[in-house]
Structure 1
Amino acid sequence: MSLWFPRLATDRVLRTRPVDGPFVLTLKESNANRVHCLNDAAERQGLYRGMSFSDARAFCPDLISLPARPDQEMRFLASLRRWAMRWCPWVGFEGRDGLVLDITGSAHLFGGEAAMLGAMRQRLSRAGLSVRVGLGQTRGAAWARAHYGEGAALADLPVAALRLDPDTVTGLERMGLRRIGQLRDTPRGPLARRFGAGLLMRLDQALGDQPEQISPETEPPHYAVRLTLPEPIGLETDVMAATDRLLARLCEKLADRQAGARILCLSLRRVDAASQQVELRLARPMRDPARILPLFQRGVSEVDAGFGIDQLRLEAVQVEPLPAQQLAHSGPRDPRRLDDLITRIGTRIGLENVQRFLPADSHIPERSFLIAPAAYSQPEGGWVNLSPRPVRIFAPEPITAAGSSPPERFRWRRMELTLGRATGPERIAPEWWLDDPNWRSGLRDYWRVETRQGRRLWMFYTPQNPGWFVQGEFA
């Protein structure tokens, strides 16, 4: 059985946002905005797929349009594939707008092919989807009937129903071979020499002389385990013991697929049908039950068990690849302790609030670093600078001084300071390709200044717009 959804893209949108009148989805192809899919009202106005959107607007001034989303269309088709598995276990994709089902041995469970077909049409129509269904002894025959005539004989269908490319269809029609029956009765040798073996393969697949298998899509792995208790529990130690059993089973599944959990959700069902959840967000992918279990302690301690908990469910909501790693004979005893610490702090203040500094490719002091969440970034190499940089950098603060050399005496933050030693200058030019208002004063000559009062400052002078500023302080 072949299910063809000729208006899959527009039906997906119009199911939630109905539109009265012509409606199209547009997609940019070869620097031109073209009609990707359209509804029945737009077809009655003379519009068709592939035409320029500007021409479509000229034909139909009241046309309503939205940009197409091919990625969402494929996800919608994947959900339809899962729905179709209620009729038979062998369901595969047929292009980007169709499904193919092997209903051998399953049609009688629904009262025969006619009853099964009628139930499918009724459910799809109720969902707001237009569909054309083709039945056949072969996959090619089912596809041909779905696209070119549901109840027609295979020999009476056009040669385009054999899933041929447009050039081959045009060549056959020029030879007068317009129907599959005519093509079947034509000598095969001249056809193979002119059009290649692909034409005869498609013909044999449709007629059943050459097999064509259906490859069903594999279901994605489901990382969830459940534990139903014979008697309700309410003590924190009992809940942690049950969670330990669930973690062992879940981590075994993760290890089989070389994956690690990044977000875990523990659902606790009480005897009064109420449910509570404990979510654990990890700083790194993990699958070690001994490391994960203590991280659940804080969340489990806040659970209200009520009259008791009779079911626990643990699911890995977000999973990432975690291949096996070679153990080193040297180095720190447990390099993963930092990840556990970040996770513990993140459960209290949020993983996004635990941040680290990363070096950035810029010679401008303010842009020489990035701030990124520690849980979603890896430590990189140190900063590479020919001259040292202060630990604390802040916005430039002007001081009153004259001359291009560091002043002997100056006032900064209400403190009277006296120059002890100065090292420099280090000239830094602005990034001309970026318009930074803080660098519109031009070049900067940086000095490392040690004062007699013990302050070690990072100061700069702007020769193009004379002035002295303090921007950092060394530890």
Structure 2
Amino acid sequence: MKAPNSLSAPPPFPPRRVLAIWCAHLAIDRWRQAEGCRRGEGADAAPVVLVGESAHGPRIAAVNAAAHDQGAAAGMMLADARALCPGLVVHPADPGGDLAFLERLALWAQRWGPWSALDPPDGLIVDITGAAHLFGGEQALVADAVRLMQGRGLAARIALAPTAGAAWALAHFGPQGAILSGEEDIARRLGPLPVAALRLDDDVQLLLRRLGLKRIEDLAMVERENLARRFRNRRAPAANPLVRLDQLLGRLPEPALPVIGVEAPMVQRRLMEPIRHRALLDRVAADLADDMARVLEGQGQGARRLELGLWKVDGDVIFRQLEMSAASRDPAHLVRLFAARLDDVDAGFGIEMVRLRASWTEPLALAQSDLEAAAERHGTSLATCIDRLTVRLGSQAVRRPVPQASHLPERAQRWQPPLAPVRTSQEEFEFHHRPLKILDRPESIAVIYAAPDGLPRVFGWRGRRHVIARAEGPERIAPEWWRERSSVRLRDYYRIEDEEGRRFWIYRHGIAGDGRGGLPEWFIQGLSA
């Protein structure tokens, strides 16, 4: 019997409900919106392909229906597709733009649930737990999602299930608008689907098909210990069918990274009369910089990237972007940087609106200035100097080298932005003696030596013959096994001096009889004073 003052057990949490949205033709749909045409009409009536660069040449990333009917397909080389369809209309693919569009779509999809996550490259996951009653039930919510996605011109397949894996499988391989209720429904409805519905890598799917496991229900016919033994060395979920199966059934958690919308600070001026002169434009830019400084100060932020938009009377829009090395909200500094970006602006019939937006901000706390800092205001700080150089020379021209943890000389250094923090560790700085100048790439040298595993006596480099007078070494450097294949050979480095006093840093690539190739090769990698 329950005690009079005992509390009853709290009601259980509602079961999780996940909505999966698969935009099957995201890139083409986005291109169609940019062209302002409907499906099968206008520019979309011709066979259109979106092409990206690959190591072997242009490769098709997406096709429309007309191109697909004529034999073109995603993943095909452009030259092969032209052989089947000479009249292809080619446009460049934009994976970065597609991802940005998908992020905006994820924020818009939060109308159906409290949070959403990306499922790259063309899908979304929306958690609608406890929100279906706001739309009149799950059937009405799914119908509303299908209708609104079609209204945005997107060919989307939508499914609802208790887990993200089950919803993904139904959206890709099930009927449109399918809804699963519980774990028993998952096992019954998803069993006949192919193993590709488990979101496995291509090589794992090929292996399962060779084993005769073509459907999800076929995995239940195999002892779990046998599958666990076969895939015990595969830790990634996409490489282990047991992990994916447990995630599908809700036995293992599948964390997702929600998309959080952050409003970028923005200020603007709608001008009473269009302006055409540079002096007036500088005055408007200075006013916007003051407004932006007040907004950022109120939020405790500093701008790292600013975008200035100029709306012209004729409908044209001009954008100028500025990226700074450190967070700043100094109006005078911002105005000086933008002055160099406005020299080539053609106002035409006039500019009627100017907008300044901080697309990248970082925390910047208030700091009390020194009472004697008035004299320093006429000077230039390091961050200000770097920003001016970046505006004048470009972001790729202003970099600094920093050490990197690698024993291989060509990997022991990397380039990064000037004021970015440097990772410090004892391993990164404990190097042996290195020459003053290291070649961009090791150059092959012709050597004459008494034995393949010994030091050369004479070597030829860039058309000159060098007789070795003194040598020091070797310093053996093993290959980085976590990056290289097992066939990579060892290196033995020597510091040598020829008869004329010139000093070099050379190495032997490989050891005679190591079973990783033929005779060792010799290279020169550095010059010493």
Question: 1:435 Cα shift?
Answer: 2.8
Whether 1:243 and 2:285 are equivalent positions in the alignment is yes
Corresponding position of 1:383:
429
Question: 1:353 Cα shift?
Answer: 5.8
Corresponding position of 1:288:
330
1:469–1:395 distance in 2 versus 1, CA, 3 Å:
closer
Question: 1:416 Cα shift?
Answer: 1.7
Corresponding position of 1:468:
522
Residues 2-81 of structure 1 aligned to structure 2 (within 5 Å): 3-4=134-135, 6=138, 12=145, 15-16=149-150, 17=154, 24=159, 33-35=165-167, 47-51=180-184, 53=186, 55-58=188-191
Question: 1:410 Cα shift?
Answer: 2.2
Q: Which digits, 9 at most, give the CA deviation of each residue in 1:162-216, with x for residues without a partner?
A: xxxxxxxxxxxxxxxxxxxxxxxxxxxxxxxxxxxxxxxxxxxxxxxxxxxxxxx
Kept in 1: contact 2:169–2:197 (CA 8 A): no
Q: Of 415, 440, 447, which aligns to 1:400?
A: 447
Whether 1:275 and 2:317 are equivalent positions in the alignment is yes
1:428–1:277 distance in 2 versus 1, CA, 3 Å:
closer
1:467–1:27 distance in 2 versus 1, CA, 3 Å:
farther
Q: Which moved more, 1:297-306 or 1:311-320?
A: 311-320
- Whole-angstrom CA distance in 2 between matches of 1:233 and 1:46: 58
- TM-score if structure 1 supplies the norm length? 0.54
* Residue identity opposite 1:34 in structure 2: A
* Residue identity opposite 1:244 in structure 2: A
Q: Which digits, 9 at most, give the CA deviation of each residue in 1:130-187, with x for residues without a partner?
A: xxxxxxxxxxxxxxxxxxxxxxxxxxxxxxxxxxxxxxxxxxxxxxxxxxxxxxxxxx
1:34–1:457 distance in 2 versus 1, CA, 3 Å:
same
Q: Of 314, 327, 332, which aligns to 2:356?
A: 314
- Whole-angstrom CA distance in 2 between matches of 1:13 and 1:376: 48
Residues 203-218 of structure 1 aligned to structure 2 (within 5 Å): none
Question: 1:349 Cα shift?
Answer: 6.1
* Number of residue-to-residue matches in the alignment: 312
* Residue identity opposite 1:378 in structure 2: P
1:28–1:219 distance in 2 versus 1, CA, 3 Å:
closer
Whether 1:431 and 2:480 are equivalent positions in the alignment is yes
User: What are the ranges of 5 or more consecutive residues in structure 2 without an aligned counterpart?
Assistant: 1-130, 200-259, 513-519
* Residue identity opposite 2:524 in structure 1: V
The 3-state SS of whatever aligns with 1:251 is: helix
1:413–1:242 distance in 2 versus 1, CA, 3 Å:
same
Whether 1:362 and 2:495 are equivalent positions in the alignment is no
Q: Of 440, 462, 466, which aligns to 1:417?
A: 466
- TM-score if structure 2 supplies the norm length? 0.49
- Whole-angstrom CA distance in 2 between matches of 1:353 and 1:12: 48
Q: Which digits, 9 at most, give the CA deviation of each residue in 1:227-252, with x for residues without a partner?
A: 23344332222211221111011011
- Whole-angstrom CA distance in 1 between matches of 2:368 and 2:467: 57
User: What are the ranges of 5 or more consecutive residues in structure 1 without an aligned counterpart?
Assistant: 68-217
Question: 1:474 Cα shift?
Answer: 3.2
The 3-state SS of whatever aligns with 1:305 is: coil
Question: 1:45 Cα shift?
Answer: 8.2
Whether 1:252 and 2:294 are equivalent positions in the alignment is yes
- Whole-angstrom CA distance in 1 between matches of 2:423 and 2:435: 18
Kept in 1: contact 2:445–2:459 (CA 8 A): no
Which of the pair has more CA radius of gyration?
1
Question: 1:363 Cα shift?
Answer: 1.7
Kept in 2: contact 1:408–1:418 (CA 8 A): yes
- Whole-angstrom CA distance in 2 between matches of 1:9 and 1:413: 71
Kept in 2: contact 1:267–1:312 (CA 8 A): yes
Corresponding position of 1:298:
340
Question: 1:388 Cα shift?
Answer: 2.6
The 3-state SS of whatever aligns with 2:484 is: coil
The 3-state SS of whatever aligns with 1:227 is: strand
Q: Of 453, 456, 474, which aligns to 2:503?
A: 456
Corresponding position of 2:89:
none
Cα RMSD for the two superposed structures = 4.4
Question: 1:397 Cα shift?
Answer: 1.7
Corresponding position of 2:489:
441
Question: 1:458 Cα shift?
Answer: 0.8
Corresponding position of 1:225:
267
The 3-state SS of whatever aligns with 2:341 is: helix
Corresponding position of 2:47:
none
Corresponding position of 1:213:
none
Kept in 1: contact 2:449–2:458 (CA 8 A): no
* Residue identity opposite 1:447 in structure 2: Y
Kept in 2: contact 1:234–1:306 (CA 8 A): yes
1:231–1:453 distance in 2 versus 1, CA, 3 Å:
farther
Kept in 2: contact 1:264–1:317 (CA 8 A): yes
The 3-state SS of whatever aligns with 1:229 is: strand
1:280–1:258 distance in 2 versus 1, CA, 3 Å:
same
Kept in 2: contact 1:409–1:418 (CA 8 A): yes
- Whole-angstrom CA distance in 1 between matches of 2:354 and 2:391: 21
Corresponding position of 2:44:
none
Kept in 2: contact 1:35–1:48 (CA 8 A): no
Kept in 1: contact 2:507–2:522 (CA 8 A): yes
1:219–1:278 distance in 2 versus 1, CA, 3 Å:
closer
* Residue identity opposite 2:159 in structure 1: V
Question: 1:473 Cα shift?
Answer: 2.2
